[in-house]
Structure 1
Amino acid sequence: MEESLVSDREAPPPRRGVGRPVDPDIEERVFAAVREVYSETGWAGFTIHAVATRAKVGKAAIYRRWESKEELIVDSITSTLSAQMTHRGSLREDLIAIVQGELAHYLRPVDGLVRLRAQVEAKAYPELFGTAMERYRRRRTDVARRIIAGAVDRGELPPDVDGLLMLDALGGMTLNRYLATPSYALRALERDSRRFAESVVDFVLHAAHAVERPPG
């Protein structure tokens, strides 16, 4: 049964008086707790009570910030997006950074499982979780699309390139390599992440007929 922050049937706790010190670390603690609880229980077992207990915060503090547990989960996942999608001045380096960032995310025990669970359960519970996860997908895709568009403007990619297909290929190969790698070999995959990313990116760029710009 879904636990909604706005339909718990509990009266909202009274707000504390003016002057109560703001906890600067509350969001970070809550997000970390969300990922831990969600990785352990999945959607069906996820509760705000468990998050509040794990984060050592009151439920009222969570009520004031998030309207539903799906928004809380998605915001927690989105908070793990790093500078992996910032522009580095070269299409190849941009895409290598994306692949390495994706792989690093999967290789973190909690974060990797959380993202995989969320993507699967967004399909299993589309009416509850699908819309919230779409926000996460749009944010990632929009940044990557800007990288592709910039490469087209610079002449590194042909104008008719299918950017989404390129991104799907990069993401799919990265996820497949992670899932196909036995546990004992994950450390080696992490050490060789740059080499793996280069091979994946070069394969996709070759298929997309990318044009390599001269240095400088």
Structure 2
Amino acid sequence: MTRPAVDGEVRSTRGRPRDPGLEGRVFDAAIALYAEVGWAGFSFDALAKRSGVGKDALYRRWGASRAGLLRQTLEARWYGLEQIDTGSIREDLLALARMWLRLRTGPYGKVGLHMMIDTLRFPEVADVLAGYREDAVRQARSIVRRAIDRGEIPPSTNPGLVLDIVVGGVTNHVATTPQRLRPAMTAKMDEFAVSLVDVLLSGVKQAGQ
């Protein structure tokens, strides 16, 4: 017969208690693994070794969905544009440019390259990343739309074009800088971000006159 619980007593439950730090350790290991080997090497075996989390725990949390884990990892560790909302178009675009510079030059800089290649090679990656990219584009375009609503830039401003210039400018700057010049580039990243955004906004405002 089951004994009723008394006041203040917490009845124990079967099973191992959930580790509150598990997701963080897995995401840290997963972003590093994906940056290093891409989708072809993004296995639960490799992830278990790298994270120190057992495969059984990985399967309990994510089932067999490597793609689902990849999307959650990117959302948690790659970028989050929803956090960019300073109330100023210049500061928002500077935050975006600085974030993209950090990502492209940081230890996980190859993540973007792997995403582009793996989307073309693996349908399961294309499927799971489609929503992630759509969310990112929508969040990024909202930066420009908020500025239009505030009257900072002309209503005719094309949000997609503005973002293409910022993200594309950073991507090209990093990709075309020779290895021998990368230390100097890294030291002047903020200067580049300021110049890029100021030139862009100057053109946007002149186009609206």
Shift of residue 19, structure 1, vs aligned partner: 5.6
TM superposition outliers: structure 1 runs of 4+ over 6 Å: none
Is 1:168 aligned with 2:164? yes
Backbone CA RMSD of aligned residues: 2.1
1:210 Cα deviation after fit: 6.5
| Alpha-carbon contact 2:31-2:73 (below 8 Å) kept | yes
Q: Which of 70, 75, 86 is matched with 2:72 structurally?
A: 75
The residue type equivalent to 1:158 in the other structure is P
CA contact (8 A) 1:84 1:97 kept: no
Comparing 93-102 with 62-71, greater Cα deviation is found at 62-71
Larger radius of gyration: 2
Instruction: State the identity %.
Output: 35
Q: Output aligned runs, 1:175-190, within 5 Å.
A: 175-190=171-186
Amino acid at match of 1:121: D
TM-score under structure 1 normalisation? 0.80
Corresponding residue of 1:86: 84
Asked if 2 retains the 8 angstrom alpha-carbon contact of 1:158 and 1:210, the reply is no
- How far 1:27 sits from its partner (Å)? 0.9
The TM-score with structure 2 as length reference comes to: 0.83
Partner amino acid, structure 2, of 1:94: D
Pairing partner for 1:209 from 192, 205, 209: 205
Q: Structure 1: give runs of 5+ residues left out of the alignment.
A: 1-16, 212-216
Equivalent residue, structure 2, for 1:113: 110
Cα distance, 1:84 vs structure 2: 8.2
Tell me the residue number matched to 1:96.
94
Count of aligned pairs between the two proteins: 193
Q: Tell me, yes or no, if structure 1 residue 194 matches structure 2 residue 201.
A: no
Matching residue of 2:24: 28
Which residue in 1 is equivalent to 2:52? 56
Q: Confirm whether residue 147 of structure 1 aligns to residue 138 of structure 2.
A: no
> Which residue is 2:5 aligned to?
none
Which region of structure 1 is more displaced relative to structure 2, 111-120 or 148-157?
Answer: 111-120
Match of 2:154 among 154, 158, 161: 158
Between the aligned partners of 1:179 and 1:206, the Cα distance in structure 2 is 25
Whether contact under 8 Å (1:122, 1:130) holds in the other structure is yes
* 3-state SS, counterpart of residue 53 of structure 2: coil
Residue 204 of structure 1: how far off its partner (Å):
1.9
